[in-house]
Every structure is written in structure tokens, then in C-alpha cells.
Structure 1
Amino acid sequence: MPLEEIERVFVVNALPEDLVPFEKKMVYQNYLISTDEKETRIRKQVEEGKEDKCDITIKEGSGLTRKVVKDKINEKTYLELEQSIPEKYEPIIKFRQFFALGNSQVMIDDFVNTKEPLLLAEVEFDTKEEAAEFVPPLWFGKEVTYDENFKNKNLWKKLNRDLTFNK
């Protein structure tokens, strides 16, 4: 059964120097299906000293709220699914850090293989009211929750369009 994901996204120009993450990992994210309204992605998360985690996720919709179905998969299944993607398509690679932010947590994704440097902050909420009441800290930049250019699936498409045309 799909869950509702409520999330706001912001561009971050620079992280405050005194900000200390409580978790760090590398994320490798590729797409099996990507349309305007629906996406199916596979993801591998690598965290030092821990076993790699893989999942498959289906997301539907855009903006503040989306329907999400997510399941864990083993690494063998991940690799089999990854092999179904043409070789020319590269995964989005991001260095993800988690920080405490008041009663919330923020995920900062530093995109490693995009053409231009990009840091995105994502904050998830339990309700739309919480999302509406959230006041971002000063170090958050422009909000891009509704900007399709900053959706991971579209960053992946742009990355792979650039790779395809530059080979």
C-alpha cells in the first residue's frame, strides 16, 4: 500500500562549518522507469562499517506530496535490475548526510557526478500542516519543492543526456 511522502526541498549554497552530521552514506540511484507522473528507481546505499542496503521505490506525483511504495531488495536483485539498464546510463551518485534540525532531521545530498555542483536539503514531514509551518534556517537557499528541474529523476535524465551526447 502506498505511503504519502511529504517533503520540502531547498538548494544549499554552503553548509555551516559547525554543522555535524549524525549519519553519512554514499547513494547510487538509477531509474528503471521515469515519466512525468511516475518513477521506479533502484538504489544502493553504502555506509562505512555497515552492510550495503538496496531498495526499489515507486513514486507517483510531484510537488509537496507524493505516493511512495518502497521495498528492500538484496544486492543480487539490485545488480540484476541494474543490468537491465543500458550501459550508457549512469546512476546519480550523491554523498548524503543527515543532520538534526530542531524536531526534524534534514538530509543533505551533495551530487557527485552532476555537471555542476549541487547541494540539496530535504526535510520530510508527517503532515502538510507541519510542512507549511516549517521555517527553513538561514543557510537554506531557494526552495525547489515544486521545481521539476531539481527532482532526482530529472537530474538523472540530464546527467545521462549529457553523457550520451558527449561520448
Structure 2
Amino acid sequence: MEIERKFLLKGDDWRSRILSSIEIKQGYISDVPERTVRIRITQNKAWLTIKGTTKGIKREEFEFEICKADAEKMLVVFCDNNKIIKTRHIVKHQNRTWEIDEFEGKLKGLIIAETELESENEVIELPEWLGKEVSYDSRYFNSNLIKETFTDEGFS
């Protein structure tokens, strides 16, 4: 089960807190409302992830590490234009890990912070560098972002 909250960011104060960063390539084999099937590749690892329907801020998730060469081939064969490239920055705030995704290509300028929760009702302290919460806005699901173009004014 995956339970997470997502936020847009305001300003760049979070950048001074980056602990590590990694480039991620990912593509979607299936992105129907009932499920998404994703291939994700980092520098030396790859995963196949299956996610169920989102209910509030939670959904079922199954993730399997796979051979990177197979993942690269699946990205080419099955994902067509359904690909995202982003840099994931890891930031800590009040002993909580935040994953901050900085998107490239047609989504350049979009930056989303997310953190995983133990339960839907978990109370967390929000860093001052967070902006609008987008946890319930399906436009900000990665599987939907592949269909969007982002500009300074938002989605076009």
C-alpha cells in the first residue's frame, strides 16, 4: 500500500537541504484508470511497478526489481512517447524524507515534493518551502503528466 502527499514548491530554499540526487527515466506501459504499469530506470537499477486505483491519497502498489537491459528495451518497445525524465532530490525535514522531483523536457519548470505516510490520518509538519497541495489533483500523477506540457503559467 502506498500512501503519499504531494505538493508544489515555492522558492528554492529546499535546494540547500539536498542530501542526494539521481536521474530517473520512466515510462508507462498501461495508464488506464484502474491501474498503471510503469518501468523506472536509474543509473544502475530498474523496476517494474504496478499501481491500482487511487482512493484519496492511497493505492495498492507492487514493485519488482528487473534487469536494467530488459527495462531499457521495454521503455523503447512499449512506452512510445509515454516517458518522463526527472531528477529526484532527497531532502530531510524534521526526520521526514521528502522526494523532490524536478522534471525535464516538456515538463521543465515543474517541481513536485512528495512524502510517504504510515496512514492517511498521519499528522506531519510541513516545511516552509512547500506550496499548494496537489495530492488529490490527478493532473499531478506521473502517469497523467506524460500527457501534459508545463509552462510558467501551469499546464497548457
Superposition TM-score, scaled by structure 2 size: 0.87
Does the CA-based 8 Å contact 1:92-1:114 persist in structure 2?
Answer: no
* Residue segments in structure 2 that go unaligned for 5+ positions in a row: 150-156
Alignment of 1:38-49 (within 5 A): 38-46=35-43
Q: Does 1:144 align with 2:134?
A: yes
Q: 1:61 aligns with which of 53, 63, 87?
A: 53
Q: Does 1:75 align with 2:65?
A: no
Q: Does 1:7 align with 2:4?
A: yes
Match of 1:157 in 2: 147
Cα distance change of structure 1 residues 14 and 41 upon mapping to structure 2, 3 Å threshold: same
Does the CA-based 8 Å contact 1:114-1:155 persist in structure 2?
Answer: no
Q: CA deviation at 1:140?
A: 0.2
Match of 1:117 in 2: 109
Larger Rg: 1
SS at match of 2:72: helix
Distance 1:86 1:138 in 2: 37
SS at match of 2:139: helix
Cα distance change of structure 1 residues 16 and 37 upon mapping to structure 2, 3 Å threshold: same
Give the ranges of 4+ consecutive aligned residues of structure 1 lying more than 6 Å apart after TM superposition. none
My pick for the range that moved more, 23-32 or 109-118, is: 109-118
Q: 1:143 corresponds to which letter in structure 2?
A: E
Q: 2:53 corresponds to which letter in structure 1?
A: G
Distance 2:108 2:73 in 1: 30
Cα distance change of structure 1 residues 145 and 79 upon mapping to structure 2, 3 Å threshold: same
Distance 2:124 2:14 in 1: 23
Cα distance change of structure 1 residues 70 and 109 upon mapping to structure 2, 3 Å threshold: same
Q: CA deviation at 1:126?
A: 1.5
Task: Tell me how many residue pairs correspond in the alignment.
Answer: 148
* Residue segments in structure 1 that go unaligned for 5+ positions in a row: 47-51, 160-167
